[in-house]
Amino acid sequence: MTTPEEDQPAKKVSIIVSRGSLDGIYPALIMANGARMEGIEASLFFTFFGLNGLAKKTMDHLKVATVGNSALNMAMPMLGLPMTIPFPTVVGAIPGVSAFATGLMNKEMEHLDIPPVREFLELISDSGGKIYGCKLAMDMFKLKKEDLWERVDGILTMGDFYTQAAGAGSHILFT
């Protein structure tokens, strides 16, 4: 049995982005953009290695994580192979494999008209989505706000994040 609160449609999503690889950042961007397209308030909170997606020096050069990524079998059809073939972790450690996988992923995303990270962030921001960096992670990695993409809405503590994420119909997602 559901409560009246559970029957309410989502009004707001706050997405925590903790992974800084290409395959770690895109799910959050896609979810935030989808929320905005449905009229749902959306915010992205980049923490720990997720800050790679906001740092000016790294945001345009994100790579696919090939070592320890047991889900790379999903990419096998891009090579004309069945998804049932596993991608051996040891292969991911070979020089050039990450660059190859990244190029393959970028080519497929371009084919599907999925924008690059910077452009995706602009779309989300232009549609009213909010983009934040995590103060603790910023301090830990010795980053300043000026090291981040210029349209970041602010640097939040965890308490600030929870406050802005609160409210009826609110959901926090962790990627």
Assess contact for 36 and 124: CB atoms under 8 A. Answer: yes
Residue 5 has pLDDT above 60, yes or no: no
Span of 39-43, 52-56, 133-137, 168-172 with lowest mean pLDDT: 168-172
Domains detected in the chain = 12-174 (3.40.1260.10)
Query: How high is the pLDDT of residue 57?
Result: 97
Tokens matching residue 116: 């690059």
Backbone torsion region of residue 60, taken as left when φ is above 0, otherwise alpha when ψ lies between -120 and 50, otherwise beta: alpha
| pLDDT tens readout for residues 140-156 | 999 999 999 999 999 99
Supply φ then ψ for residue 46, to 5 degrees: -90, 120
Span of 54-58, 106-110, 128-132 with lowest mean pLDDT: 106-110
Residue 134 has pLDDT above 90, yes or no: yes
pLDDT band at 6 (very low <50, low <70, confident <90, very high): low
Supply φ then ψ for residue 106, to 5 degrees: -60, -40
Residue 153, classified by CB atoms within 10 Å of its CB into exposed (0-12), middle (13-18) or buried (19+), is middle
**pLDDT average, residue stretch 16-25:** 95
Mean pLDDT over each residue of the chain, to the nearest integer: 92
Query: How high is the pLDDT of residue 3?
Result: 54
Query: How high is the pLDDT of residue 7?
Result: 65
Residue 10 has pLDDT above 90, yes or no: no
